[in-house]
Every structure is written in structure tokens, then in C-alpha cells.
Amino acid sequence: MNGDERWTRRRWLQASGAAALAGAAGAATAALSSRPATALAAAWQGRDGAWVGVLRQQGRQLRVHRSIAVPTRAHGLLQEPGGTLLAVARRPGDWLMRWDRDGRVIALAWIEPNRAYNGHVIADASGDTLYTSETDLDSGAGLVGVRDARTLDKRAEWPTQGRDPHMLLWDAHAAPFTRLVVANGGIEIRPETGRMKLDLDRMDSSLVRLDAAHGELQGRWQLDDARLSLRHLAWHGHGSDAVLGIAMQAEHGDATLRAAAPVLARFDGHALHTAASPASLAGYGGDIAADAQGFAVGCPRAHGLARWHADGRWQQFAPLKEACAVATEASHALWAGGRPDAQRSQAQISDASIDNRSQVGLPTGLQLDNHWLVLRDDSTKEG
């Protein structure tokens, strides 16, 4: 699809149906080989458009096991308790999709008028309710959309007390599933200008805590540097000792300041603190994950994976071209996706000088988007 063509719902349904058949044929061939060690849900760009699907490891290679064409680029992904998956359009997006491990689309929700999805979704403990980050396109105000998980219809919406809300998670400092934390990126966008960043001198990024019953504000925190946009979130640990890692993107007008800006902030329940690195990371943190020892941030402009201990001490930098998507296995082993390769790191790092990474190839022509996730075993069985 070239830049002048627009997807209609009918064209998307036709394309996604054809893709599901192609994915099933590829899966039958893959089943003849040895069972792969790992499966990851991912979003990517291919030569013929935007896709979501499942990648499976076969030896030193990740291969497409299932794929679905999507109307526009996808961003955040979520695996639901029953093994189904959700994908959300990249901001400002207009679709939310549920799909299964066989590449079938189960539900598709086009967003309500004058609203845009901001790329992330989470579910409550029962899986009956979904929470999506959104923007009111008339006012620019940030929202949490509260949705019926079965139908994807909106039940309510709550203000995030900021602009450009991005990722949201459950608050590990509270009783399970009682409070949300939301990263307000603070960047203004407008319907007529799409993803163009406006009025950066008035950025107002923040981390907010919301009550999960009614959306009341229970706390709001900001960094001293107003040009650091809080984007992606990951918890290290549980309970009162848990620390939230936040991947950031610098929006300074001065290139030198932008290149030297930190890409990780930490939140201990009381305040935000930035974490230093010994060298420039180009001021751009992509995806973030927590492993056994701390936080890993994909830094696509610095071409590598930056790692810190949970207390903010620097750990190491692992080169990987265009590294962005990161995810952990149950063992805490870490997967980082770049281009044209991915890496799997061992769960423990006893010495930053030890190379504990294994390189894994990605399919030719596949360009990963920002996020992927390691699937639980119940979603990797043959359909």
C-alpha cells in the first residue's frame, strides 16, 4: 500500500483473511520441523504493509508462524488469560483488535468519534475489563478508556490529568488491580497534523496514579527537565519495594542536549529519578523490560540495549542495530529485537564484560515495530 492509499474496513477484512490463509499454510510447513523454543507476538512492517502475528524460534532463526494484515501500524500488544491477543494501533490510532493464535480476527473496535487510541491496553484480573490510553481530539486531553473486554465497547472514560497518555500499568505498590499508573507523554498533537509534535516548549509530561474504580487522581509526579517525555513502563519487583522503570524520549531543541539526555527514569512510589549512563544513548528510549537484575531499554538511535540495576546503577550496553522491542521470558531471559537480527540474553549477568548473548536472525524484509512479547505456553500450541 503506497502513502496515498487509505484502508477501508472492507479492504482490511479482505487482506487479513488472505493473510490468515497464508499464515496457516506456512505453519503447516513449519510443523514438519522441530518445535521452536520460543514464540513471540509482534508487530512489524513488511514490504507489503503493516502486520501483527506470531514469530517462532527455529534454531538460530525467528520465522513468521502466523500473520494478519492490519489497517495501520500496530503498537502495544497484550496476551489475555485465555491465550487470545490484543493489538492497538499506533497513536493517533483508530483501531483495537483481538486475534487468536491461528491468525483469526475475533473482534475489531474502531474508536469513537473525536477520540484516538494511543497505542496501549491492559486488562483487569478477571479479564472482563480493558483500559486503553486515548486522546480527546477536540481538546487534546488525555483519557483512559474503560472497555468491555468481550465487545470492546467503551463503558467510561477518565481524564489522565495530562496530554498524550501513552503506556499504563497496574500499580505494584497497591493491592492488586486497585490502582493504575499512566505515563503522560506531554506532547500536543492535533487531528489535522497527525503525529507532528507541536508546541514542545509547553510540554507537560507526568506520571499519574489513578484509582481503578472511578479514575480519581491519587498522585502526579514530574521531572525537573520538562523536555523529557515519559513513554513506556515496566515494574521490577512487587509490593512496597517495587520500582517502576520508565523509558523516556528527549524533545530538546538543542541537538547536544537531546543526545546527552537520560532515557531511563525510576519511580519508587514517592518521586521520579533519572538514571545516568556512561555514554550518550541519543536521548531516545524505546521499549523497556524488567529482568532479574534491573531494567533493559531498547535504544534504536544508539543501536543497542542499555541495562541498569534496579537501583539505577549502570550495568552494560549491548550493541544491536536498531534495537527497540524488548521482552522477558518466565526465566527472566531477555529478548531484544533489532534489524535485521534479534538477541536473547541469559537470565543472569555476573560480569558486564561477559558476552552472554545469542544472535537470532529475523525474516528478510521484516522490520519490527516498538514492542513484542514472549507468549505463554498455552498460546504456542499448534492450532
Q: What's 317's domain CATH number?
A: 2.130.10.10
> Is 1 part of a structural domain of the chain?
no
Lowest mean pLDDT among 163-167, 240-244, 254-258, 374-378: 374-378
**Are 296 and 324 within 8 A, CB to CB?**
no
Per-residue model confidence (pLDDT) at position 3: 36
Per-residue model confidence (pLDDT) at position 200: 65
Percentage of residues of the chain with pLDDT beyond 90: 74
> Is 269 part of a structural domain of the chain?
yes
Non-local CB neighbours of 274 within 8 Å, separated by 6+ positions:
223, 225, 228, 262, 264, 265, 266
- Using DSSP's 3-state secondary structure scheme, residue 333 falls into coil
Per-residue model confidence (pLDDT) at position 293: 87
Sign of CA dihedral 337, 341, 346, 350: negative
> Is 217 part of a structural domain of the chain?
yes
* Count of domains forming the chain: 1
**How does strand 39-46 pair with strand 367-374?**
antiparallel
Which of 195, 127, 198, 199 lies closest to 166 in space, CA to CA?
195
Print the domain residue range for 26: 9-379
pLDDT tier for residue 18 given thresholds of 50, 70 and 90: very low
Is it the case that residue 68 has pLDDT exceeding 60?
yes
> Is 215 part of a structural domain of the chain?
yes
pLDDT tier for residue 163 given thresholds of 50, 70 and 90: very high
Percentage of residues of the chain with pLDDT beyond 70: 83
> Is 199 part of a structural domain of the chain?
yes
Higher pLDDT, 160 or 199: 160
Cell of 287: 521499549
> Is 181 part of a structural domain of the chain?
yes
Ramachandran region of residue 152, left (φ > 0), alpha (ψ -120 to 50) or beta?
left
Cell of 284: 531516545
pLDDT tier for residue 354 given thresholds of 50, 70 and 90: very low
Average per-residue pLDDT in the chain? 87
> Is 3 part of a structural domain of the chain?
no
**Are 79 and 327 within 8 A, CB to CB?**
no
Is it the case that residue 301 has pLDDT exceeding 60?
yes
Is it the case that residue 48 has pLDDT exceeding 70?
yes
Burial class (CB within 10 angstroms; exposed 0-12, middle 13-18, buried 19+) of 51 = buried
- Mean pLDDT of the region 350-364: 71
Instruction: Answer whether the bond into residue 92 is a cis peptide, omega within 30°.
Output: yes
pLDDT tier for residue 330 given thresholds of 50, 70 and 90: confident
Residue 70: Cβ within 10 Å count: 26
Per-residue model confidence (pLDDT) at position 353: 42
Measured distance between the N- and C-terminal CA atoms of the chain, rounded to whole angstroms: 30
> Is 203 part of a structural domain of the chain?
yes
Give 188-242 pLDDT, tens digit per residue.
876 555 555 656 678 899 999 999 999 999 999 999 999 999 999 999 998 889 9
